[in-house]
Amino acid sequence: MIEEKIKSLDITLPNPPTPAGSYIPAVKTGNLLFISGQIPMEDGKVLFTGKVSDDNLETAQKSARMCAINLLAQMKRELGNLDRVTRIVRLSGFVNSDPEFYQHPKVINAASDLFFEIFGDKGKHSRIAMGVACLPLNSMTEIDAVIEFSD
C-alpha cells in the first residue's frame, strides 16, 4: 500500500546510498529504526551542493525532498516492506546555509510534507531544522530519522 502511494507520486526509490564514513546506515533496536543522515545523493553523486540562501530556497527544498527519498530507500532496505512503518517519530534536518539565511524550516518542510503525504497520520513527526556552516560533500541538506516499525 505505501509503495503504491510512492509510485503514484512518480517516485522511484534509488539504491540506498552507502555510508561516506565509519558508520552503518541504520540501527534497529526494539521497534525503532535509527537511520543515519542522508544527503541528496543518487548513483554515487551529490545532486544538490552549496550554500542555501533566499535565492535558491526552491532548490534547497528539492535537496531536502531527495534526502527524504533516500531515507525511504534505507527504510525499505532495512524493513523489507514499508507497510511495516507504524510512525515517523523524528526528523533532524540540517541546512548548509549562508549566515544570513533564516528559513531552515521551509527547507526541511519539503521532507516533512513528503512523509505526511505518503504515510498520512503515521507520517506526523517531531523535528528539528537548523542551519550549519557546512555539510559532508558540500551537500545542501542532510536529514536523519527515527522510525517506529511493526514486526
**CA triple 50-62-34, angle to 5 deg:** 90
pLDDT at position 19 over 90: no
β-strand pairing of 45-46 with 126-132: unpaired
pLDDT at position 21 over 90: no
Tell me how far apart the alpha carbons of residues 124 and 119 are, in angstroms, rounded to a whole number.
8
pLDDT for 82-120, tens place per residue? 999 999 999 999 999 999 999 999 999 999 999 999 999
pLDDT of residue 119: 98
Tell me how far apart the alpha carbons of residues 13 and 73 are, in angstroms, rounded to a whole number.
6
Q: pLDDT band at 17, cuts 50/70/90?
A: confident
Phi, psi of 24 (to 5 degrees): -105, 155
For the chain, helix (H) and strand (E) counts, in that order, are 3, 7
- Arithmetic mean of pLDDT over the chain: 97
Residue type at 34?
F
C-alpha cell at position 38: 542522508
User: Could you tell me what percent of the chain has a pLDDT over 90?
Assistant: 96
pLDDT of residue 108: 98
Contact 132, 96 (CB under 8 A): yes
